[in-house]
Amino acid sequence: MVQVIYLGLLGCRASDTSEVILDNCQIPAGQLLGEAGEGFVNCLEILDGGRISIAALAVGMAQGAFEASVRYAKQRKQFRQAIADFQAIQWKLADMATEIEAAWLLTYRAGVLKNQKKRSTKESSMAKLYASEMSVRVANEAIQILGGYGYVKEYPVEKFYRDAKISTIGEGTSEIQRLVIARQLLKSSF
Ligand SMILES: Cc1cc2nc3c(=O)[nH]c(=O)nc-3n(C[C@H](O)[C@H](O)[C@H](O)COP(=O)(O)OP(=O)(O)OC[C@H]3O[C@@H](n4cnc5c(N)ncnc54)[C@H](O)[C@@H]3O)c2cc1C
């Protein structure tokens, strides 16, 4: 029996997500992907690449939230000046931009290894862990910079905040990324 259960989501609602239950299904041998008994190993190898994609997605969402913050900070006036002139806002923007670039570089490094067909387990997990947690932090700061408008749907940052969260969960949670990274580190001899 095959059962498909539609799931409503906090964010990323353009991506229809469903739980698929395959119960007591017989799959014809011709439909087998890879070798029998190797599924788990194949899945782990695919995850090394998938995690780079999630990291890239997270960097893109953070960049979107950052650009919306800069636009708004230049345009919004309080106390007779643009809020971008306040040092408190400037420091937020500086931290956001620095974290985005750091995540981008980690993601790029993992992508280069993948393109060179080299093992990227540790680097993919580092990129995914840092980029996903960074995108949640950046989207959170973006809401703060927009003040009340950050929380309403008229501006895009509440959506970046909701969408960014899935990147800390899908393709392995942040906790699992830390586990993978630690395992790889402990294999090395220093
Ligand atoms: C929108 C969406 C789309 C998805 N798309 C896909 C998809 O296309 N394909 C797919 O296969 N899956 C997909 N998933 C599933 C997703 O990969 C899992 O939800 C995710 O990997 C976490 O697994 P879990 O939900 O079983 O959490 P659990 O494993 O139950 O984890 C719950 C909590 O316990 C922690 N935890 C679990 N084990 C450990 C441990 N060993 N050490 C420390 N902490 C631990 C977790 O980090 C988390 O905080 C999707 C999920 C969502 C929400």
pLDDT tens, residue by residue, 58-71: 999 999 999 999 99
- What average pLDDT does the segment 80-86 reach? 98
In whole angstroms, give the CA distance from residue 176 to residue 166.
Answer: 14
Confidence of residue 96 (pLDDT cuts 50, 70, 90): very high
Q: How many angstroms separate the alpha carbon of residue 173 from the centre of ligand 1?
A: 6
CA angle at residue 135 from 107 to 46, to 5 degrees? 45
| Cα Rg of the chain (Å, integer) | 20
Can you tell me the mean pLDDT for 77-93?
A: 98
CA of 1 to the centre of ligand 1 (A): 24
- Look at residue 5 and give its three-state secondary structure: strand
Q: Structural domains in the chain?
A: 39-187 (1.20.140.10)
Predicted pLDDT of residue 27: 83
CA distances from 9 to 14, 15, 34, 142, 147 (A): 10, 9, 32, 22, 25
Residue predicted with more confidence, 26 or 96 = 96
In sequence order, what are the beta bridge partners of 19?
5
Q: What is the pTM of this model?
A: 0.94
* Per-residue confidence band for 189, with pLDDT thresholds at 50, 70 and 90: confident
Q: Choose which residue among 22, 44, 175, 180 to substitute to test ligand 1 binding: the one with the highest number of ligand atoms within 8 A of its C-beta.
A: 175
Q: Is the CB of 172 under 6 A from ligand 1?
A: yes
The answer to which of 44-53, 101-110, 128-137, 159-168 has the lowest mean pLDDT is 44-53
User: Which DSSP string do the residues of 125-160 spell out, in sequence order?
Assistant: HHHHHHHHHHHHHHHHHHHHHHGGGGGSTTSTHHHH
pLDDT tens readout for residues 5-42: 999 999 999 999 999 998 998 888 899 888 888 988 88
End-to-end CA distance of the chain: 52
Is any ligand 1 atom within 6 A of the Cβ of residue 169? yes
pLDDT at 162: 98
pLDDT at 187: 93
Cα dihedral 169/177/156/91 (nearest 10)? 140
- Which residue minimizes the CA distance to atom 14 of ligand 1? 170
Rounded (5°) CA angle 137-11-67: 45
84: pLDDT strictly greater than 90: yes
Give, in order, the Cα–Cα distances in Å from 185 to each of 51, 119, 172: 18, 14, 18
Query: What are 127-177's pLDDT values in tens digits?
Result: 999 999 999 999 999 999 999 999 999 999 999 999 999 999 999 999 999
Residue 101 annotated among the catalytic residues of the structure = no
Based on the number of CB atoms within 10 Å of its own CB, is 87 exposed (0-12), middle (13-18) or buried (19 or more)? exposed
Task: Confirm or reject: Cβ of 175 under 6 Å from ligand 1.
Answer: yes
Q: Report CA(86)–ligand 1 centroid distance (Å).
A: 40
Which candidate, 179, 162, 57, places its Cα nearest to that of 125?
Answer: 179
The two structure tokens encoding residue 137 = 């932090």
Question: Taking Cα atoms as reference points, which of 62, 84, 63 lies closest to residue 73?
Answer: 84
